[in-house]
């Protein structure tokens, strides 16, 4: 046990580049300040199925972190602690750990009491969860139960409220631009329309920002239900005035046709109640090919349909997702050293800060359609970038 106490770190939800640099920043600073650091493995799952027995093999649940361990992983993508979408407050009966099956027998079970006991068993004084609104919503629950929480926002959708920036977003935008620019050579060679489906369940930042940067001609986002005939007319106009005879549209996975709903791969849900999205790009592609005859003098136009998916969240972090996690990790340590908790470290208007943790569950963060999205042209709208933050759209646009 370190002199000053013990800090736990976990990563939950989807992986993004920048998680390992954040873990590294927390660990190195904490060790040098006299704290011990434990990495919780597999997100909240590591705190659900841990066995409170000193003789039990809990190596799949936690590991003691050292400078050597975090330095080795600190420049890489993903999370070496691994991750899951486990929600301890909503565990299905079949997912209850074997040693708890006699205690928790409902179809859905709240294992928060076990999580609290496991934190005590590990001797964790402060917990630093790194995640999106799902992971951090459970962190709010633990804070309400008395756990000392300092959170770090992560999600490539950049949709955690209270902060202008979430770890992973910059690399996602960078990858999307790179992939769109690579694929445009195929679209141009065959004179086609290209549909690229990108992540973004409720917020369209990952489609809007790359389009603003020139990666696509148009984009459709979850915040505005679009008319597919209007999209077809715009794209064919773009294609026919382009010397290379192609046009690109970025489609958020949560985008919806006018009069329609989100498109799901199936109706099963994750522990936070979200059905798996996927397929809107396929539907858009099929309809665009049908409608191309109508807007292209009776001649059909073939479509390139590509779901970018995990390609935008894999690999090493870019410069911003190497620097911001380092700053976030150190900010988290500053709060702990001041004995502050129930906070989330953030970037607001270009400056590092912290806000109350419960902002995560108080509201949602969406694209301000009126300010940033031209619903007639189905593309980003901007009049002036003066005094806007690095990524233009802030957490205050909700």
CATH code for the domain of 340? 3.40.50.450
pLDDT at 397: 52
Q: In this structure, are 88 and 28 located in the same domain? A: yes
Question: Structural domain tally of the chain?
Answer: 2
Given 15, 125, 134, 157, which residue is catalytic? Answer: 157
Show the domain range for 294: 171-312+368-380
Q: Are 18 and 321 in contact (CB under 8 A)?
A: yes
Domain-located, residue 54: yes
Domain-located, residue 35: yes
3-state secondary structure (DSSP) of residue 261: coil
CA 19 centroid distance within chain: 11
pTM: 0.94
What CATH number did the domain enclosing 175 receive?
3.40.50.460
Residues 6+ apart with CB under 8 A from 301: 191, 192, 193, 236, 239, 288, 289, 292
107 has catalytic annotation: no
Token pair listed for 281: 């790009």
Q: In this structure, are 266 and 200 located in the same domain? A: yes
C-alpha span between 4 and 38 (Å, rounded):
14
pLDDT at 274: 76
Domain-located, residue 306: yes
Q: Which residues of 105-128 are buried (b: 16+ CB within 10 A; e: fewer)?
A: eeeebebbebbbebbebbebbbbb
Q: In this structure, are 37 and 89 located in the same domain? A: yes
Q: In this structure, are 215 and 139 located in the same domain? A: no
Domain-located, residue 386: no
Q: In this structure, are 195 and 304 located in the same domain? A: yes
pLDDT at 275: 76
pLDDT digits (tens, 9 = 90+) for 196-248: 999 999 999 999 999 999 999 999 999 999 999 999 999 999 999 999 999 99
C-alpha span between 162 and 364 (Å, rounded):
9
Q: In this structure, are 225 and 87 located in the same domain? A: no
Q: In this structure, are 151 and 175 located in the same domain? A: no
Domain-located, residue 388: no
Q: In this structure, are 278 and 320 located in the same domain? A: no
User: Could you tell me the CA-to-CA distances from 203 to 32, 196, 221 in Å, in that order?
Assistant: 39, 16, 7
Pairing of strands 126-131, 6-11: parallel
Domain-located, residue 389: no
Q: In this structure, are 322 and 375 located in the same domain? A: no
Torsion of CA 316, 317, 322, 326, to 10 degrees: -80
Domain-located, residue 251: yes
pLDDT at 398: 43
Low pLDDT (below 50) residues in the chain: 1-2, 398
pLDDT at 385: 86
pLDDT digits (tens, 9 = 90+) for 22-32: 999 999 999 99
Q: In this structure, are 374 and 226 located in the same domain? A: yes
109 closest CA partner among 87, 128, 126, 127:
87
3-state secondary structure (DSSP) of residue 149: strand
Domain-located, residue 396: no
Handedness of CA 293, 297, 302, 305 (dihedral sign): negative
pLDDT digits (tens, 9 = 90+) for 156-179: 999 999 999 999 999 999 999 999
Q: In this structure, are 100 and 133 located in the same domain? A: yes
Q: In this structure, are 306 and 217 located in the same domain? A: yes
């Amino acid at each position: 046990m370190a002199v000053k106490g013990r800090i736990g770190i976990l990563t939950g939800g989807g992986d993004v580049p920048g998680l390992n640099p954040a873990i590294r920043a927390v660990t190195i600073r904490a060790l040098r300040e006299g704290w011990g650091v434990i990495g919780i493995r597999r997100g909240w799952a590591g705190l659900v199925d841990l066995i409170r027995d000193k003789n039990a093999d809990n190596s799949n649940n936690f590991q003691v972190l050292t400078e050597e361990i975090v330095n080795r992983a600190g420049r890489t993508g993903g999370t070496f602690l691994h991750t899951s979408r486990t929600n301890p407050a909503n565990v299905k009966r079949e997912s209850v750990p074997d040693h708890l099956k006699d205690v928790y027998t409902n179809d859905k079970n709240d294992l928060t009491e076990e999580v609290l006991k496991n934190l005590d068993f590990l001797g964790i004084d402060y917990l630093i969860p790194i995640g999106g609104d799902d992971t951090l919503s459970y962190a709010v629950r633990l804070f309400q139960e008395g756990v000392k929480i300092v959170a770090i926002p992560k999600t490539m959708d950049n949709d955690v409220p209270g902060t202008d920036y979430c770890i992973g977003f910059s690399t996602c935008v960078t990858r999307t631009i790179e992939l769109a620019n690579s694929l445009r050579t195929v679209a141009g060679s065959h004179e086609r329309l290209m549909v690229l489906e990108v992540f973004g369940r409720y917020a369209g930042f990952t489609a809007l920002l790359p389009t603003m940067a020139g990666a696509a001609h148009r984009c459709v986002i979850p915040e505005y239900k679009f008319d597919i005939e209007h999209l077809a007319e715009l794209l064919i106009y773009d294609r026919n005035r382009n010397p290379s005879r192609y046009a690109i549209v970025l489609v958020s996975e949560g985008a919806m046709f006018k009069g329609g709903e989100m498109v799901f791969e199936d109706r099963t849900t994750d522990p936070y109640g979200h059905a798996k999205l996927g397929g809107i790009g396929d539907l858009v592609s099929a309809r665009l090919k049908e409608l191309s005859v109508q807007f292209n003098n009776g001649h059909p136009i073939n479509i390139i349909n590509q779901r970018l998916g995990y390609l935008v969240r894999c690999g090493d972090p870019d410069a911003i997702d190497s620097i911001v996690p380092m700053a976030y990790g150190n900010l988290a340590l500053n709060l702990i050293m001041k004995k502050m908790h129930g906070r989330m470290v953030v970037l607001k208007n270009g400056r590092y800060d912290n806000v109350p943790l419960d902002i995560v569950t108080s509201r949602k963060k969406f694209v301000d359609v009126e300010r940033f999205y031209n619903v007639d042209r189905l593309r980003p709208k901007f009049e002036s970038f003066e005094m806007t933050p690095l990524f233009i759209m802030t957490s205050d646009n909700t």
